[in-house]
Amino acid sequence: MNGVSARRVAADYAARTDKLAQPVRKPRTATLALVALAALAAALTAAWWPWRERQLPTAPESEAAAVPAVKRLTEIPFDGAQAYEYLKQICDIGPRQSGSAGMAAQQKLLIEYFTKLGAPPTLQRFRYRHPLTGQPVEMANMIVSWHPDRPERILLCGHYDTRPYPDQDQRNPMGVFVGANDGASGVALLMELGRHMPALGGKYGVDFVLFDGEEFVFSDTDPYFLGSEWFARQYVAEPPAHRYRWGVLLDMVADAQLQVFQERNSVLWPDTRPLVDSIWSTARRLGVREFIARPKHEVRDDHLKLHNIAKIPTCDIIDFDYPYWHTEADTPERCSALSLAKVGWVVLEWLGEPR
């Protein structure tokens, strides 16, 4: 994730306050007329109330409450524990800054992993001038295709580079940043999703795309989203034989205190709103209450390039209420296998739904 001034506009909705009308207090009286009137009112209320209860509309929140909340890993048919092991394995490499030895080691791990699953990745290479040294930096988006014969496709994506430094760390903003949630979580989720992809039915193929250079930034003036912009411009300049119907960006999805609100851009774009509604509806059906069906943050992320340049309707699944964002404390200990399981399950179920 990039800096606050360049990437996030955390414009929360104004806090809602429900003002309850105070009961009107009347002077006490002992008149029989008032007693009779009170008795009559009570009788009428008792007769009317059951009918009123039957007529009340059911809100989406009530529907969600009717589905038992999922609380344990054993209740979820998506291996969050294995995804968490992938997350730790990636973090064990260390920082994975664009053009670094850590990035090269991660690419080697992922190429070997997806090749064993039957989907050898391709690298979409590009270069970028280093903001400090001026030297060219070799970068590469990684594309993993499932069911490549299907021309109608869904794009699942995330970034796999880490920010050069933990710039939001109050004690050591030039320290070591391993990006467990911000970087590794989306990659780990896609690794586990990959084990389910060969059996995916339906008319849609799926491409995983891991973007490089999402936050290769050293100051507030450096550009972000280098990989997603390159991918989007290539999609327009050299149109492929396939077409992406939807795109889903997975970012910061392993927070142990998971809360996935709807990202504001994703909700406001008319072509993307149905996608958001569909995914959150799937979560509600499954009892994954961490998907909260109202918008909160406006997030500057890779989905902006995919939507605005490539015209791919893309939503951002992100938990931006993460206190360790861009700090040295963004480590596997702050992440959760259960959170990975819940997000992975929702995405997998959504992929399998007819559309």
Task: Give the Å distances, CA to CA, from 18 to 15, 176, 207.
Answer: 10, 45, 45
Closest CA to 128 of 103, 158, 98, 173: 98
The one-letter code for the residue type at 84 is Y
Domain assignments of the chain as residue spans, ordered by start:
69-352
Q: What is the mean pLDDT of residues 322-349?
A: 98
What local confidence, expressed as pLDDT, does residue 17 receive? 30
What local confidence, expressed as pLDDT, does residue 149 receive? 97
Pairing mode, if any, of strands 8-9 and 291-295?
unpaired
What local confidence, expressed as pLDDT, does residue 60 receive? 46
Whether the CB-CB separation of 302 and 249 falls below 8 Å is answered with: yes
Residue 68 pLDDT more than 80?
Answer: yes
Q: What is the mean pLDDT of residues 99-120?
A: 98
What pTM, to 2 d.p., does this model score?
0.83
What local confidence, expressed as pLDDT, does residue 66 receive? 64
Quote the tokens at residue 207: 């491409």
DSSP structure string for 211-236: ES-TT--SSTTS---HHHHHHHHHHH
Whether the CB-CB separation of 178 and 168 falls below 8 Å is answered with: no
Closest CA to 295 of 277, 271, 278: 277
DSSP 98: T
Q: For residue 52, list its beta bridge partners.
A: none
Residue 10 pLDDT more than 60?
Answer: no
Residue 297 CA to residue 293 CA, distance in Å, equals: 13
Task: Give the Å distances, CA to CA, from 294 to 13, 273, 277, 283, 351.
Answer: 10, 12, 10, 13, 22
Q: pLDDT grade, residue 240 (50/70/90)?
A: very high
Domain 69-352 has CATH 3.40.630.10: yes
What local confidence, expressed as pLDDT, does residue 58 receive? 32
Q: What is the mean pLDDT of residues 88-103?
A: 98
Using a pLDDT cut of 70, give the percent of the chain over it: 81
As a 3-state breakdown, the chain gives helix, strand, coil percent values, each rounded to 5, of: 40, 15, 45
Residue 283 CA to residue 265 CA, distance in Å, equals: 20
Q: Which of 7-21, 112-126, 329-343 has the lowest mean pLDDT?
A: 7-21
Whether the CB-CB separation of 307 and 269 falls below 8 Å is answered with: yes
What local confidence, expressed as pLDDT, does residue 33 receive? 41
